[in-house]
């Protein structure tokens, strides 16, 4: 016979009055398995049973909370009626001017810094951007040279073009049976004038096209230097006054609500803790009995 049973049979005093049911298996017994159907049914029935009282409470107090929320919002925005004013008065007279001036100062400082940066680094940034494509850079440079030369020429026709216009005018006069009289000289001058105006207009249009090409191929110096776009923000009053306005909608029945789940988990954890504590007590009692034998 093992020593512990011998101690019991000998009728030692320390074994008297111990609670019945002591055993030698000190592992805690598991709580009974949870039944989702039974728990859900109980939770749903509890919610149904409490629904009339919940509805009555909402019907009585939700309008009161809504009225309280509106009163608080009016008091916040308009003041207490004692002449001190509310948030709107403070905002329009103090906050808005201060915010506006702060935004103006910040914008002015930012623009000044951006202009200084673009002035000092813009040309280098554009040149680096253009140099990334050498073939395109060479072609655009050539177009710029030719466009500037055309504008520099003004209304002065190139010698070859002037000779061609003059010869064409004279040939036309001869074809019409005319000679080299004053009227013929006038027609020749008019032809050269028209040609010069057309020549300048073509050069001007070509220069405009080159400007567009430059803008498309050089990049934006401001964007290249700052790398950002400007923006502004404001104060949104919609965020104020949302608290205190309750909902009067009907509650949703949920047998697995957070509250019900919390109750079930609390009970389950309490039962498991009690079983563990009981097993620990049994182990302590048996350990003391064995050490005294």
Q: Where are the domains of the chain?
A: 134-224
Q: Shortest CA distance to 117 belongs to which of 215, 226, 219, 230?
A: 226
Written as six digits, the tokens of 212 are 């567009």
pLDDT band of 170, cuts 50, 70, 90: low
More confident residue, 284 or 246: 284
Written as six digits, the tokens of 145 are 């040279």
**pLDDT of res. 257:** 65
**Under DSSP, is residue 211 helix (H, G, I), strand (E, B) or coil?**
helix
Beta carbons of 85 and 79 less than 8 angstroms apart: yes
CA 213 – CA 207 distance, rounded (Å):
10
Instruction: Write out pLDDT tens, residues 139-169.
Output: 989 999 988 988 888 888 888 777 777 777 6
DSSP per position, 238-275: GGTT-TT----PPPPP-TT-HHHHHHHHHHHHHHHHHH
Instruction: Write out pLDDT tens, residues 90-135.
Output: 888 888 999 999 999 998 998 898 889 888 988 888 888 888 888 9
**pTM more than 0.95:** no
CA 15 – CA 140 distance, rounded (Å):
108
Beta carbons of 180 and 171 less than 8 angstroms apart: no
C-alpha radius of gyration, the chain, whole number: 49
Residue that the structure tokens 């957070």 belong to: 258
Written as six digits, the tokens of 98 are 């201060």
CA 215 – CA 208 distance, rounded (Å):
11
């Amino acid at each position: 016979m093992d020593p512990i049973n011998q101690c019991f049979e000998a009728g030692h005093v320390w074994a008297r009055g111990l609670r019945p049911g002591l055993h030698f298996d000190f592992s805690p017994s598991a709580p009974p398995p949870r039944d989702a159907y039974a728990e859900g049914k109980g939770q749903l029935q509890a919610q149904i049973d409490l629904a009339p009282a919940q509805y009555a409470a909402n019907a009585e107090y939700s309008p009161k909370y809504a009225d309280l929320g509106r009163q608080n919002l009016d008091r916040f925005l308009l003041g207490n009626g004692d002449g001190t004013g509310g948030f709107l008065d403070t905002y329009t007279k103090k906050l808005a001017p201060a915010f506006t001036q702060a935004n103006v100062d910040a914008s002015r400082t930012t623009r000044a810094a951006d202009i200084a940066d673009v002035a000092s680094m813009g040309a280098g940034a554009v040149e680096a951007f253009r140099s990334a494509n050498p073939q395109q850079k060479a072609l655009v440079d050539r177009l710029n040279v030719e466009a500037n030369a055309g504008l520099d020429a003004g209304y002065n026709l190139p010698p070859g073009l002037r000779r061609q216009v003059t010869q064409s005018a004279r040939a036309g006069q001869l074809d019409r049976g005319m000679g080299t009289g004053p009227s013929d000289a006038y027609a020749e001058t008019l032809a050269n004038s028209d040609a010069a105006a057309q020549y300048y207009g073509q050069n001007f249009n070509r220069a405009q096209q080159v400007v567009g090409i430059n803008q498309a191929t050089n990049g934006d110096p401001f964007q290249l230097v700052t790398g950002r776009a400007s923006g502004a923000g404001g104060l949104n009053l919609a965020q104020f006054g949302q608290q205190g306005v309750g909902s009067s909608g009907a509650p949703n029945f949920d047998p697995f609500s957070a509250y019900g789940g919390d109750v079930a988990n609390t009970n389950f954890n309490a039962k498991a803790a009690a079983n563990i504590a009981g097993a620990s007590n049994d182990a302590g009692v048996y350990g003391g009995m064995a050490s005294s034998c």
